Amino acid sequence: MKASEFTKQSTVEKNKTEEIIQRTLKISPERFFIEKENLIFSNSKLRRVQKNIDRYKSGEPIEYIFFQASFNGNIFFINKNVLIPRPETELILQKTFKIIGKKKNLKILEIGTGSGALIISLAKRAPYQNYFATDISKKALKIAQKNSLRHNTKINFIVSNLLESVNILPDIIIANLPYLNKSEARNLADPKRALVSPGYPTYLIEKLLMQISKMNRSIYIILEIGYNQQNLKKYCKKLFPKSQISIMKDPSGYNRVLAVTN
């Protein structure tokens, strides 16, 4: 069967079908565009493509099917032990770069790094800093370390539940912690522990903020939050009365990033 015929017959949207074909057969998009009218599947290739199409139709994200996700123009290895990085999280990068400016040798700490996509993207674009990243999951940290090696970044990884095992005094803390409830995460394929906060949606964020407040140090804090969690701004004002507290909106107009700055 020709690839063009398979695409026409597929019950999956055309762009996703073509992406799955390209990734399964390891064909570049440019080559596929040129050759798709004459590209013929052998029976074995057809079975491989159809298997991945079926996985996608069953609700498995392409990122988990092919163990690969894109974030901030970089490609990261992922599996079902870590969250799939989302474009809206790039707001944390934007805010952090503004804070860094021309400064050097800052200590930048990410809490709950997962795949490492966020801290690695920072380290690639602002290399003259000191980077640290934690996660409570050893499996997640192994993935982050693998990605750090691939991208040739120097990051100190720490197994820790929030700040419990951290013994540095950071200048900037960033995090995309779990902030959903069970119903909000029901239809998402990511590991639930990376999505759902124990207790109530803002529990982990509030716990981290409380830990930071006890460090008695001026620290920039940049955290991803849920669209309806603007009350965290009031919580921060109680903990950090002398700091500026702001909430950034994502491209869709939803509250997305909480920033505590000096």
pLDDT at res. 36: 81
61/217 Cα distance (integer angstroms): 41
- Assigned token pair, 219: 């620290």
Does this model's pTM top 0.75? My answer is yes
Name the H helices within 154-213: 182-185, 203-213
Does residue 101 lie in a domain region? Answer: yes
**Pair (50, 83) in one structural domain:** no
- Provide the mean pLDDT of the chain: 95
Going by pLDDT thresholds of 50, 70 and 90, the confidence category of residue 66 is very high
**Pair (203, 101) in one structural domain:** yes
- Secondary structure, 3-state, 13-31: CHHHHHHHHHHHHCCCHHH
pLDDT in tens, 80-138: 999 999 999 999 999 999 999 999 999 999 999 999 999 999 999 999 999 999 999 99
**Pair (137, 215) in one structural domain:** yes
Going by pLDDT thresholds of 50, 70 and 90, the confidence category of residue 41 is confident
Closest listed residue to residue 128, CA positions, set 145, 92, 98, 153:
153
Question: How many domains does the chain divide into?
Answer: 2
